[in-house]
Chains A and B, each alone.
Chain A
Amino acid sequence: MTDLAYVSPRAGQRSTASRLGRVALRWTLYLLLGLFALWFLMPLFVMVTTSLKSLDEIRTGSLVALPRDVTFEAWKTAWGSACTGIQCEGLKPYLWNSVLIAVPGVAISTIIGALNGYVFAQWRFRGANLLFAALLFGCFIPFQVVLLPMARMLGILGLAGTIPGLILVHTVYGIGFTTLFFRNYYVTIPQELVRAAKIDGAGFFRIFWSIFLPLSLPIFVVSVIWQFTQIWNDFLFGVSFSSAGTQPVTVALNNIVNSTTGVKAYNVDMAAAILAALPTLLVYVVAGKYFIRGLTAGSVKG
């Protein structure tokens, strides 16, 4: 009892001190995180405010000031009448081009990646490791290296400067990543499932369709987000392998910004940049929860 009475006040003091320390640490952490978030949001803030200002206001006002008269003129111009060279149709047709490239590109590369991953994870064959390593190597080849061979190949296939050509390029380039995603996800599924299904009489595709696909939502989301972001944001392939009517939105954005003569229409540039970036942002907001879940799925074995 005496021991207890002697020890407890000191223990109490210590715990109060350590609690204060913990609270201080926590608030410092929040402050730092807040500052970082502000730092990263700053450009977005400038973009949004600038896009809502008139050119006069931009010229006279400060960069970080809020707009005095909110106007959507710049957005209208960016959407429908900004000049990307000699045509002045705004971003609208190019946004549509990007959709036409990204949607099939994402779908095809994801489906092929899922099948590849299923084979690599559950139907091991002689040379599988070598082939998988080769596919992985494909992920690390820089874009620039494949430009010339790809151009030649598209030429031979008669797809140069077309949207199907760009879909093909993105699909081929994406398969390495999507295969990696699905393979690592499916490797965590016990082999006994496949064995049980085999004895139940199911074949290769039946097992994939009935057992593996229903388990795959998280990794599908990862693959879709990754591929969509890659394809939508791609500039180099877009500028290299497109022609006048088939340019994706990134190329059009570049042209809007770089081909203006005389006064720079900053408000239009900003509005166009936001328009071009909006779809990827939307995909993250809608599916981001699954993205994190899917990325961490295979790594922590439960």
Chain B
Amino acid sequence: MAPILDIKNLDKSYGQTKILRDINVAIDQGDFLVLVGPSGCGKSTLLNCIAGLEPISGGSIEIAGQDMTDVSPKDRNIAMVFQSYALYPTMSVAKNITFGMKVRGIDQATQSAKLAEVADLLQISQLLDRKPGQLSGGQRQRVAMGRALVRDPALFLFDEPLSNLDAKLRVEMRTEIKKLHQTLGASIVYVTHDQIEAMTLATRIVVMKGGVIQQIGTPSEIYNTPANLFVADFMGSPAMNLIPAKVAKDGSGHRIEIARASEPPLVLADPRPLDLPADVILGLRPEDIAEAGYRSGDQVQEAACQVDMVEPAGADTYVVSHLGGKQVTARLHAETSAKPGAPLNLAFDLAKVSYFAPESGERLN
């Protein structure tokens, strides 16, 4: 089956400034693609290019097997939900939702039927006569989604739709969007700067920085095997620990040495046959460091470390220690006996460890 969206070698520049460089992405019917990255990374521009709201400087865009590179937005068979919702302020909710159909000259009966269907799906039937100004943030969000859903397009585009909502509502709407995706089987491209949103919603994630794609993959690929230091640092909260380390060959495996300020170096062993340089950045997620005795596995190694800080977070307790000149966060069980200033035996689970080259930042294993 042809991909529902196929972007090839897309470039975008404003004058001399290159905003997007050589973007290649393809998704299949029913995929939920999340574009994630820090502000200014070009993710919203890429979405606007897909929508046809921004002309592209090079490459091609195909939607549902048709070349849409130079097609105007209204003929691309897409619907879009905007960050500010962009509801038409003088029209009622019902008129907002049916405006697109009215413009396209769809008959009244079909309009009413579709309106009722969508209003029912989003539970906004009681709001249809209100003006956008009389709605709460969450209700506006629903209406904006209704306006997109009623189009029944090949591709939905979401531009940071939850960023104007408060934290609680954001989580609710996130679940709702996910549910909607599962019931409708819709193909979605979704822009966010929130990596948790990306992880929870996506079937595929594109991590971007400076107009360049850093990595494309499933949430678990992105999380467990980040392609470079940027992705490793950006995805996950608290962030992955990135610790400078010295590597020496030790039989078929490696001996990894992490310098410490006042104690002898921390030594770990990775028995796997890898091809590593002498200096690496070792990447270990906070949950891969536990209190000794609480983690088992063939790659678990224990060592005593000085605890600098203890941060209880309810379900977990985060413990910060200084290793290799970096603050290293470990995610411990809630009832840990860790005390700031006291040593604690920590278990390092190297099963999911990542190695990065210090200069290029690229992944080594």
Alpha-carbon distance A211/B83, docked complex (angstroms): 19
Alpha-carbon distance A51/B45, docked complex (angstroms): 69
Alpha-carbon distance A214/B80, docked complex (angstroms): 23
A202 in contact (CB, < 8 A):
yes
A210 in contact (CB, < 8 A):
yes
Question: B80 and A196: CB pair below 8 A?
Answer: yes
Which chain B residues border A214 with CB–CB below 8 Å?
90-91
State the Cβ distance, B156 to closest chain A Cβ, in Å. 11
Question: B90 and A199: CB pair below 8 A?
Answer: no
B78 in contact (CB, < 8 A):
yes
Partner of B86 from A190, A202, A215 at Cβ < 8 Å: A190
Given contacts A201-B104, A202-B103, are A192 and B86 in contact (CB under 8 A)?
A: yes
Question: A195 and B100: CB pair below 8 A?
Answer: no
Given contacts A192-B83, A196-B80, are A201 and B88 in contact (CB under 8 A)?
A: no
Interface range, A side: 10 to 19
Nearest chain B residue, comparing its CB with the CB of A200:
B100
Partner of A196 from B72, B82, B104 at Cβ < 8 Å: B82
Which chain B residues border A195 with CB–CB below 8 Å?
48, 51, 53, 73, 80, 82, 86
Question: A211 and B88: CB pair below 8 A?
Answer: yes
State the Cβ distance, B176 to closest chain A Cβ, in Å. 21
- Per-residue 0/1 for A182-213: is the Cβ within 8 Å of any B Cβ (1 yes, 0 no)? 00000000101101111111100010001100
Partner of A201 from B74, B83, B90 at Cβ < 8 Å: B74
Between B83, B87, B99, the greatest number of chain A beta carbons within 10 A of the residue's beta carbon is seen for B99
Question: B80 and A199: CB pair below 8 A?
Answer: yes
State the Cβ distance, B85 to closest chain A Cβ, in Å. 8
Question: B90 and A215: CB pair below 8 A?
Answer: yes
Which chain B residues border A198 with CB–CB below 8 Å?
53, 72-74
Which chain B residues border A210 with CB–CB below 8 Å?
88, 91, 99
Partner of A192 from B73, B78, B84, B90 at Cβ < 8 Å: B84
Interface range, B side: 20 to 34
Nearest chain B residue, comparing its CB with the CB of A202:
B103
Alpha-carbon distance A190/B88, docked complex (angstroms): 11
State the Cβ distance, A185 to closest chain B Cβ, in Å. 14
Given contacts A202-B103, A206-B103, A210-B99, are A197 and B53 in contact (CB under 8 A)?
A: no
Alpha-carbon distance A192/B85, docked complex (angstroms): 8
Nearest chain A residue, comparing its CB with the CB of B105:
A201
Which chain B residues border A196 with CB–CB below 8 Å?
80, 82, 86-88, 147
Question: B82 and A200: CB pair below 8 A?
Answer: no
Partner of A199 from B79, B84, B87, B89 at Cβ < 8 Å: B79
Which chain A residues border B87 with CB–CB below 8 Å?
196
Report A156-205 residues with CB < 8 Å from chain B CB.
190, 192-193, 195-202
Question: A192 and B82: CB pair below 8 A?
Answer: yes
State the Cβ distance, B53 to closest chain A Cβ, in Å. 5
Given contacts A192-B82, A192-B83, A210-B99, are A199 and B88 in contact (CB under 8 A)?
A: no
Alpha-carbon distance A211/B103, docked complex (angstroms): 12
- Per-residue 0/1 for A258-297: is the Cβ within 8 Å of any B Cβ (1 yes, 0 no)? 0000000000000000000000000000000000000000
Report B32-87 residues with CB < 8 Å from chain A CB.
48, 51, 53, 72-74, 78-80, 82-84, 86-87
Which chain B residues border A200 with CB–CB below 8 Å?
74, 99-100, 103, 147
Alpha-carbon distance A206/B51, docked complex (angstroms): 20
Alpha-carbon distance A197/B80, docked complex (angstroms): 10
Nearest chain B residue, comparing its CB with the CB of A198:
B73
Alpha-carbon distance A193/B86, docked complex (angstroms): 5
Alpha-carbon distance A195/B54, docked complex (angstroms): 10
Which chain B residues border A193 with CB–CB below 8 Å?
86, 88-89
Alpha-carbon distance A253/B86, docked complex (angstroms): 53
Alpha-carbon distance A210/B100, docked complex (angstroms): 12
Alpha-carbon distance A199/B80, docked complex (angstroms): 7
Report B99-124 residues with CB < 8 Å from chain A CB.
99-100, 103-104
Nearest chain A residue, comparing its CB with the CB of B79:
A199
State the Cβ distance, A216 to closest chain B Cβ, in Å. 10
Which chain B residues border A206 with CB–CB below 8 Å?
103
Which chain A residues border B80 with CB–CB below 8 Å?
195-196, 199
Which chain A residues border B48 with CB–CB below 8 Å?
195
Which chain B residues border A215 with CB–CB below 8 Å?
89-90
Between A192, A197, A200, the greatest number of chain B beta carbons within 10 A of the residue's beta carbon is seen for A200
Alpha-carbon distance A190/B83, docked complex (angstroms): 11
Nearest chain B residue, comparing its CB with the CB of A211:
B88
Which chain A residues border B91 with CB–CB below 8 Å?
210, 214
- Per-residue 0/1 for B176-197: is the Cβ within 8 Å of any A Cβ (1 yes, 0 no)? 0000000000000000000000
Between A195, A196, A206, the greatest number of chain B beta carbons within 10 A of the residue's beta carbon is seen for A196
Given contacts A190-B84, A192-B84, are A199 and B99 in contact (CB under 8 A)?
A: no
Alpha-carbon distance A198/B104, docked complex (angstroms): 12
Alpha-carbon distance A193/B78, docked complex (angstroms): 16
Alpha-carbon distance A215/B86, docked complex (angstroms): 14
Alpha-carbon distance A192/B86, docked complex (angstroms): 6
State the Cβ distance, A162 to closest chain B Cβ, in Å. 40
State the Cβ distance, B212 to closest chain A Cβ, in Å. 25
Question: B74 and A199: CB pair below 8 A?
Answer: yes
Which chain B residues border A201 with CB–CB below 8 Å?
74, 100, 103-104
Question: What 14 additional pairs, Cβ within 8 angstroms, besides A199-B100, A200-B99, A215-B89?
Answer: A190-B84, A192-B86, A193-B88, A196-B80, A196-B86, A198-B53, A199-B74, A199-B78, A199-B80, A200-B74, A210-B88, A211-B90, A214-B91, A215-B90
Supply 25 A–B pairs (Cβ within 8 Å), ascending by A. A190-B86, A192-B83, A192-B84, A193-B86, A193-B88, A193-B89, A195-B51, A195-B53, A195-B73, A195-B82, A196-B87, A196-B88, A199-B53, A199-B78, A199-B79, A200-B74, A200-B99, A201-B100, A201-B104, A202-B103, A206-B103, A210-B88, A210-B99, A211-B90, A214-B91
Q: Which 3 A-B pairs have the closest CB atoms?
A: A200-B100, A214-B90, A192-B86
